Chain A
């Protein structure tokens, strides 16, 4: 068996897709060729047997129909291999060199089918094709899995991640070499065990069925051309190498034939080939025990292309070293200019005098607690250029900001020391839900103005609808007026439209509207004057809420614009698009100011850091990045999601970034270090929107599972402890005893995807929550469109 192993592989080569039917003529030709071959080589016995076989065959074929006279190429080569094996016994192995066999076959002037076959084999390399027995991979992979499962508990989390890339490469190899059936069998056999963690990639790979697909598919090419990074401790790596070379290591008891056999060796060789060619081991000196359960997410994958590479200098193999190389970030709040502060101070005092408000001292305290350049505030010069002077509206906004800060609902956790001990009090937010009804094809986006006077929703039917939440009529200015007649406010009022209703339709886009954003310059002091929207028609549009018309269409993206977001101080805005870039614009220019390129797939969402120096983007390449707005360079990369990053949010204090992905997890990142603080799970469907409370102490998320959830930022997170799950905090044992029936415990275990930092879950009836946001006074507003049960 051992010497002839290459031969059985040839039948599969000849029939990558079905069986080739040869005519009876060609069959005769082949027979002749074989006879010649055997005669040349002097295999007497084989020749005799073959002849007798040939003699019996025509009899059968003539007696029955003509179909049986055809002989498939597969049968032919099978027969050939049988004789070759038999020939082994008397003489030395004629097939010791696979290439020579092929050469000989080619030289013998075979029928066209064989010729074609041989030429196709030549293209790939005969040695390789003959060594790539599909059963090899099955064996090799099974052994790898068995080895990983049989390894010590402390190493298993380390070894698990290497299974997946090897699976992918085996599958791609099989497809690339045309073993479609074998590939599908391989997939069906081994993918279920990997599905829980790698479903999207697995599914994508399963759609590749032909060699052509592998050559053209982006993900497949990334697997082929990039190294898949796996982090491993030194001792773990040593064990892996030991197994690959010697076959030593944790074989579970009674798993059948050992690894020491020839087949085991071949399987290991296949694994070794992938390991050599396509894997990079990030060997750390850290001990294996310190690796947490989800840590692999951050350090495993096709990282080289996801991490931006600095030109010329050394390349980074992991996100941490890249983030560290980018140095410190300026995460402080922008310093308030002295003039603005004085004016705000005056305005506050004036108002307090009029209203006889005794709280003015608190107001002033809040005002003067705002960072200045000396106390860590970011000076104006560091920010993107803003107009040097301020306007009345700015003072109004600042005054309102101070008031909001004083009147805000506190959502921080407070600890009261009593005689019994420390009593922790975790306040929960009040949430007002705005449910849209009768929306037709759907509402992809919805947002509230900061002063909560307006709500805007973008529709799939390409229009935007504006509602006044205060019941006021939305009136634009008429267009038929004489400019010279406008002198003061009262004459301006006269040219307002008459009548009107509390809702208004803004028409201009020619594709579904995916994002809307209100201009933040007036803050909570006055209704916003501008609205931005982005759409599938590859434009972003600026709408004036004075005239209720479209003012500018910003063209530049080549593809649908998924998201648009104002800068925290107006003037600038950013867009994210399917064309893999995010762009920076200013409202007064129709051309792009900056292009942020580097993501490998769609940029799905974009948000500004509260100090407007940075910009975060989330992408379909499963990463989020932080960009320097002015330089246009990437300063942080956040790797850890196992799915598309669908939305993100900055904490108002500027220190954290929360991202939510299609892996149903919400990750919290520390911007300064670029490290993941924790992973929050609990949602059972996509998360659509995230928002931090004003104190940055709480995160609220809303999603397609019709729930709004509140998360504690300060808590450590992690899986829920049993005691809390049962809802009894005082005595876990008795609670377990009471609920200890088998079905109950099962249900609880399934529930345990909720991490312990989930403060509360508020279900709605049937409303997927598309937007959550906090007002400056910490009231939570959520919006979504009611999902009619009659709709499919």
Chain B
């Protein structure tokens, strides 16, 4: 109030103060005094302003002695009391009235009107509403503001301002009020400036890094440099590193970094085309690392599975692996996958179905390369018998693959499917071929053709037991 008044006065334009003669005339109108001359109105306005300043100056004393920096209605009340004026009843500082501004009516000459909002209270609603718990009474909490002149960094104390910080962050909490201020400024708000917030984030990042001890950091760099880049001469070093990963305890802190390192390595290798020998070796090593991590009994890998699976599945299903390593890579990826599933399918029951879905999609959906399909089949083998049956026989995976295979083709994809079928039932030692003429055998052949397609049906013809097992499993399920 005072500050406002001062400001208004400091500005050159307003001739009179806060109270305009118009205000007086409005009040006079409300009291049925219509013939109020200009001189009287302006003299009254000046006087009213002076009286109000008197009250406010008195109220300021009460505010100061109440150790507050905002004036409340109770201060005004006290001031009126000591000035021997009847206080204005009905204003409590608990519930300060909120003033609303009504925009001026265009036709009339009067300015904006301010009025106290008077909310209507519906007693029914109030009574129905849940009971409000009483707030706690006043209470105290003690903390160390300073210990031998050093302010401890505890939540009770404001965050320390770095000494070398930018001037605006520094100036804010200690910005001196101009000495000419009539009343002291309200203290600076403690909202951290955006600069400070950014700084904080930075600090947090730093602290995370600092959780790793120096020893672990050193170990990490040594380990990764031993593993990659893979060269034949470092074979001993690499095995040692993998052995360490497989068996050493106390690597838990490193786990997130290793997982991330593996993921990035795989992505890097596959992105670059993955045609060179080197990429193949890199992928091999990385798969070894994953295997080693899963093998280590002291590591708690479960939280990082979602980060580990993408590299495994990428290796398994990628369309273009270096030809020299392709089979080996897919097989080992499938092995790791199977290992992972056996280890975690109990604690993480939704894991196998999800992985199977991914693999089936890769197997059946059109426009997938043969190598992807091969990887998918190997993955299914890794998951188990049931998955193979679902994928190849029920899902028609074998049919799809068969249609893509050249008649009489061996190795690669065809071999993978044969391997998979072997998982369902081992082929008999002395195969008895299905007889085309035999009535039930002919039905079986037809069934075989329907389920696995011509290409693989031909192969299964040779062994009646095998073929029947493939089918019966199918019919059973």
Contacts and interface: CB of A to CB of B under 8 A. Distances in A.
B30 interface: no
Contact of B148 (A428, A435, A686): A428
A203 B138 contact: no
A207 B50 contact: yes
B146 interface: yes
B146 A430 contact: yes
Interface in B14-68: 15-17, 38-39, 42-43, 46-47, 49-50, 53-54, 57, 61-62, 64-68
Most buried by B among A197, A210, A705: A705
Contacts, number: 247
Interface in A402-448: 427-445
Contact of A578 (B82, B140, B176, B185): B82
A77 to B, nearest CB: 17
A792 B139 contact: no
B178 A196 contact: yes
A704 B67 contact: yes
B184 A437 contact: no
B177 A766 contact: no
A685 B78 contact: no
B476 interface: no
B67 A770 contact: yes
A486 interface: no
A432 B147 CA distance: 8
Contacts of B157: 763-765
A197 B180 contact: yes
Interface stretch (B166-174, B347-355, B382-390): B166-174
A196 B142 CA distance: 39
A316 interface: no
Nearest to A199: B180
A511 interface: yes
Contacts of A440: 94, 138
Contacts of A753: 176, 179
Contacts of A782: 145
A438 B78 contact: no
A206 B67 contact: no
A187 interface: yes
A768 B68 CA distance: 8
Given A432-B143, A433-B143, A763-B158, A686 B72 contact: no
A199 B158 contact: no
Contacts of B168: 743, 747
B65 A181 contact: no
A210 B39 CA distance: 12
B70 interface: yes
Interface string A752-764: 0110000111111
A747 B184 contact: no
A700 to B, nearest CB: 10
A684 interface: yes
Given A432-B144, A782-B145, A203 B151 contact: no
B182 A203 contact: yes
Interface residues of B, number: 80
Given A188-B10, A192-B10, A435-B156, A662 B184 contact: yes
A708 B158 CA distance: 13
B303 to A, nearest CB: 36
Given A204-B57, A429-B146, A685-B187, A197 B179 contact: yes
Nearest to A187: B9
Contact of A465 (B54, B66, B138): B138
A546 B6 CA distance: 51
Nearest to B6: A203
A604 interface: yes
Given A197-B179, A663-B179, A664-B177, A768 B69 contact: yes
Given A203-B182, A763-B173, A432 B38 contact: no
Given A203-B182, A430-B148, A434-B141, A441 B67 contact: no
Interface in A221-242: none
A438 B140 CA distance: 9
A209 interface: yes
A6 interface: no
B136 A196 contact: no
Contact of A180 (B12, B46, B136, B190): B46
B246 to A, nearest CB: 51
B175 interface: yes
A212 B49 CA distance: 13
A381 to B, nearest CB: 38
A20 B156 CA distance: 66
Contacts of A747: 167-168, 170-171
Interface residues of A, number: 103
B141 A435 contact: yes
Contact of B181 (A199, A511, A514, A560): A199
Contact of B50 (A210, A503, A604): A210
A445 B68 CA distance: 11
Contact of A434 (B2, B82, B140): B140
B275 interface: no
Contacts of B164: 727
B82 A433 contact: no
A209 B46 contact: yes
A91 to B, nearest CB: 37
Interface in A590-621: 602, 604, 620
Contacts of A433: 142-145, 156
Contact of A762 (B42, B139, B151): B151
Given A17-B43, A439-B138, A684-B174, A431 B144 contact: yes
Contacts of A435: 140-143, 156
B231 interface: no
Contacts of B93: 441
B377 to A, nearest CB: 64
B179 A684 contact: no
A584 B181 CA distance: 35
B135 interface: yes
A727 B170 CA distance: 13
Contacts of B177: 664, 684-685
B103 to A, nearest CB: 24
A766 B49 contact: no
A436 B140 contact: yes
B47 A207 contact: no
Given A511-B78, A560-B78, A753-B179, A436 B64 contact: no
B74 interface: yes
B96 interface: yes
B138 A431 contact: no
A314 interface: no
A562 B177 CA distance: 26
Contacts of A308: none
Given A467-B140, A751-B174, A764-B157, A438 B135 contact: yes
A399 interface: no
Nearest to B12: A188
B65 A514 contact: yes
A690 interface: no
A434 B184 contact: no
29 contacts: A184-B16, A188-B9, A188-B12, A189-B12, A196-B178, A197-B179, A210-B47, A429-B146, A431-B144, A434-B142, A435-B141, A436-B139, A438-B137, A439-B138, A441-B74, A444-B65, A512-B62, A512-B65, A512-B78, A663-B179, A684-B174, A686-B64, A688-B67, A704-B184, A751-B171, A761-B174, A763-B157, A764-B157, A765-B158
Identify the 4 closest CB pairs spanning chains A and B, nearest first.
A428-B149, A747-B167, A685-B184, A207-B53
Interface of B: 2, 5-6, 9-12, 15-17, 38-39, 42-43, 46-47, 49-50, 53-54, 57, 61-62, 64-70, 72, 74, 78, 82, 93-94, 96, 135-151, 156-158, 163-164, 167-168, 170-171, 173-188, 190
Given A429-B149, A503-B139, A765-B190, 16 more contacts: A203-B5, A206-B9, A209-B17, A431-B144, A433-B144, A435-B156, A437-B136, A440-B138, A442-B67, A443-B67, A455-B140, A503-B137, A663-B179, A743-B168, A746-B167, A783-B140
